[in-house]
Structure 1
Amino acid sequence: MYLIERYIMVATQRLVITIIGFLIFIFASYSTQRYLTDAANGTLALQSVMYIVFYKILIALEMLLPVGLYVSVAVALGQLYNDSEITAVLASGISPFRIYKAIMFLAIPLGILVTLLSMYARPWAYAQIFQLKQQAQSELDVSHLQEKKFNLNDSGRMILSDKINRKNNLLSDVLIYSISGNNTFLFRAHSVQVVNPAIASPAVTLHSGTAYQLDHKGTDDNVQTYKNFNLHPKPMKQSIELRSKSASMAELSRSHDPADIAERQWRESRGIIAILMALLAIPLSRTRPRQGRFATLLPLAVLFVLIFYAGNISRSLVASDIIPSFPGVWTVPLIMLLGFFGLLAHQASLLQKFFR
């Protein structure tokens, strides 16, 4: 490898490691705080928090890695332009395409890694998160419930208990609130015995209390007093969006559902977009003398926002069958490729004027 390429690679690589590490730390801190709040509210078991945070980081890497490389290329090359090092390199007769070559040595392996993460690690992580949440919300495990607190979950169920006997799976002086369809159910019980905590068929027995069924339309309300009442909460169901996100590539390839097609194209395009983002950062990082190394960060930030939202919008439109599946999600990388060639042509014309 030539000296110029190695020099640019080393300068960029250091920033990539620093920025990606910083982004992972910030994301992990935010996710930990969020899910610790859920654990404090009784939504999740405390031991599940670290697992979910790990899976969330694994999912986020398909975005954090390209962003880290994109920013690193912009800052590293901006510094080289600001110190007139690139100007000196070009003035010595070295081809400007060697800068692109140096960045490609970093961008291609990272793009392959992002593709593998998006195709295989991301769906696996989504499946594991759903399993943990299903266990927390469908399994009637009293170990993570808090006494004298409203223990909520994402399905809308709330449990309030004055005392909890964790050894015997017994709750005393209990209020249970849940929603199913067009009805709201409210159960008041002297005690609740968890008969079967399993995810597939959870069951509890309520002793000495009152059950209220409230019809949202107001036509079929009723009240029932009971001594023993057997309750079978419905297991948590996987949403259509989560099903697509956790499906394997083989399942998505066989499916003709627009949501699955959008998900498959999204995964396949992540690595290409990571490489194109790094390449777009090269011409956009060019600064004029005395302009400053951070002068181009605003247009680079605007470009990133446009790419991010355009990708999400195109995926949503394909999933909703509003736009055709071809080119579908690939519209964004195609536009990025055309934009890159446009910037490349513009830079080539500037160089011709420079060397006249």
Structure 2
Amino acid sequence: MIVFRYLSREVLVTLSAVSAVLLVIIMSGRFVKFLAQAASGALDPGSLFLIMGFRMPGFLQLILPLGLFLGILLAYGRLYLESEMTVLSATGMSQQRLLAMTLVPATGVALVVAWLSLSLAPQGSMQFQLVLNKQDAMTEFDTLVPGRFQALNDGSRVTYTERMTEDRANLGGVFISEKRLGQDQKDRGISVLVADSGRQEIRPDGNRYLILENGYRYDGSPGQADYRAIKYDTYGVLLARPEISNEVTDRDAMPTSALWGNPEPRAVAELQWRLSLPLLVFIVTLMAVPLSRVNPRQGRFLKLLPAILLYMAYLTILISARGSLEKGKIPLGLGLWWVHGIFLSIGLGLLYWEPLRLKMASRRSMKEMARG
């Protein structure tokens, strides 16, 4: 029991450290992406941390199996390097018994991954989609930030305001530049609107207008001296009507209960993918235990790179098979299970090859001694 607690603590501590580092790296990259979208006006800056919270379960369900795999390699590699595993082997600790002890914390990790993949991650993806739908329904008036030029409508309109009240009801120092397109969708030049002030007005029919006051409108084409200037006291700019959609089409956001019994290839592939992640935990544990065995003279990182490449091959083939299953290129009965079968065989081969090799070498040495 003391040995079991010691080994479990080493694995779990290393797992926590590795997973935390991986989570920070991945979330930092995604946060920069969402931050860029917020800077361009595509997202509300106030919802960034909410979005990251919804995306975290989806990240963790992939990070935890990798963290466990690296945790076993690093923790047990250190024990081999410091000859602690040699002492344990001398007291009867076989590879099979070491694997059995390692599967106990691995089972806990698998249960957490199953909870994430089957329940929490789909819920987070659904909420993430709803937030994006809400963001898409926002008008340019809602996402405008004082003192910054904001490109909208694929860059066809650029809006700027010098100041804005806290309730976002009134603007000051407004500038709007918009491309003019003819009925044939050809460029007819640009229109520039400048105004001292502006406000949003919602008509009874639901249309929203940005009412500009005391300003000028300039129409023309860059490089040509045919501009037209119009002074106005009040000018209305139609804002795109928001279309609020509660429909969630992302496959990752579908509840697991809706996937059971669904014969569509996309639903079958998504369900098998969610079930594959907990199964992945046990198979990578089976591979990690023999791969962690190192010679103290070789160093603890000798097998780390090949082990990571093996894990990446496993995950890459699994993702590729998922895509093929969705497209109907793989029979639904075969599904993703053949990938797990291949790497289960690799793990069993790694587990039993080294003891078998040592036994054969020992017999060979005894025969040579007998001949001598």
Both proteins in one fold, TM over 0.5 = yes
Against the structure 1 CA distance between its residues 207 and 194, is the aligned structure 2 distance closer, same or farther, given a 3 Å change threshold? closer
- Name the CA distance, whole Å, in 1 between partners of 2:125 and 2:316: 22
Counterpart amino acid of residue 169 in structure 2:
N
Instruction: Say whether the 8 Å CA contact 1:189–1:207 is kept in structure 2.
Output: no
Counterpart amino acid of residue 116 in structure 2:
L
The equivalent residue for 1:298 is 305
- Equivalent of 2:290 in 250, 262, 283: 283
Against the structure 1 CA distance between its residues 152 and 9, is the aligned structure 2 distance closer, same or farther, given a 3 Å change threshold? farther
Measured after TM superposition, the shift of residue 206 of structure 1 is: 6.1
Alignment partner of 2:336: what SS? helix
The equivalent residue for 1:160 is 158
- Name the CA distance, whole Å, in 1 between partners of 2:201 and 2:269: 43
The equivalent residue for 1:255 is 262
Please list the CA deviations of residues 294-329 of structure 1 after superposition, one character each: whole Å capped at 9, or x if unmatched.
111011111121012111101111111121122222
Alignment partner of 2:14: what SS? helix
The equivalent residue for 1:204 is 208
Instruction: Say whether the 8 Å CA contact 2:208–2:240 is kept in structure 1.
Output: yes
The equivalent residue for 1:35 is 34
Alignment partner of 2:11: what SS? helix
- Name the CA distance, whole Å, in 1 between partners of 2:10 and 2:262: 44
Measured after TM superposition, the shift of residue 32 of structure 1 is: 2.5
Counterpart amino acid of residue 33 in structure 1:
V
The equivalent residue for 2:130 is 131
Deviates most, 248-257 or 264-273: 248-257
Instruction: Say whether the 8 Å CA contact 2:122–2:252 is kept in structure 1.
Output: yes
Instruction: Say whether the 8 Å CA contact 1:253–1:264 is kept in structure 2.
Output: yes
- Name the CA distance, whole Å, in 2 between partners of 1:304 and 1:51: 32
- Name the CA distance, whole Å, in 1 between partners of 2:98 and 2:37: 48
- Name the CA distance, whole Å, in 2 between partners of 1:176 and 1:111: 54
Alignment partner of 2:209: what SS? strand
The equivalent residue for 2:347 is 340
Alignment partner of 2:302: what SS? coil
Same amino acid, percent of matched pairs: 23
Instruction: Say whether the 8 Å CA contact 2:138–2:242 is kept in structure 1.
Output: no
Instruction: Say whether the 8 Å CA contact 1:276–1:337 is kept in structure 2.
Output: yes
- Name the CA distance, whole Å, in 2 between partners of 1:161 and 1:25: 35
The TM-score with structure 2 as length reference comes to 0.77
- Name the CA distance, whole Å, in 2 between partners of 1:196 and 1:58: 39
Measured after TM superposition, the shift of residue 256 of structure 1 is: 2.4
Please state if 1:316 is matched with 2:314: no
Against the structure 1 CA distance between its residues 118 and 146, is the aligned structure 2 distance closer, same or farther, given a 3 Å change threshold? same
The equivalent residue for 1:219 is none
The equivalent residue for 2:243 is 235
- The gaps in structure 2 that reach 5 residues or longer are 220-234, 364-372
Q: Kindly report the root-mean-square deviation, in angstroms, between the aligned alpha carbons of the 2 structures.
A: 3.6
Instruction: Say whether the 8 Å CA contact 1:157–1:178 is kept in structure 2.
Output: no
- Name the CA distance, whole Å, in 2 between partners of 1:156 and 1:264: 36
Against the structure 1 CA distance between its residues 327 and 170, is the aligned structure 2 distance closer, same or farther, given a 3 Å change threshold? farther
Measured after TM superposition, the shift of residue 106 of structure 1 is: 0.9
Deviates most, 341-350 or 261-270: 341-350
Against the structure 1 CA distance between its residues 169 and 255, is the aligned structure 2 distance closer, same or farther, given a 3 Å change threshold? farther
Measured after TM superposition, the shift of residue 141 of structure 1 is: 6.3
- Name the CA distance, whole Å, in 1 between partners of 2:53 and 2:171: 33
Against the structure 1 CA distance between its residues 113 and 304, is the aligned structure 2 distance closer, same or farther, given a 3 Å change threshold? same
- Superposition map of 1:105-120 within 5 A: 105-120=104-119
Against the structure 1 CA distance between its residues 334 and 193, is the aligned structure 2 distance closer, same or farther, given a 3 Å change threshold? farther
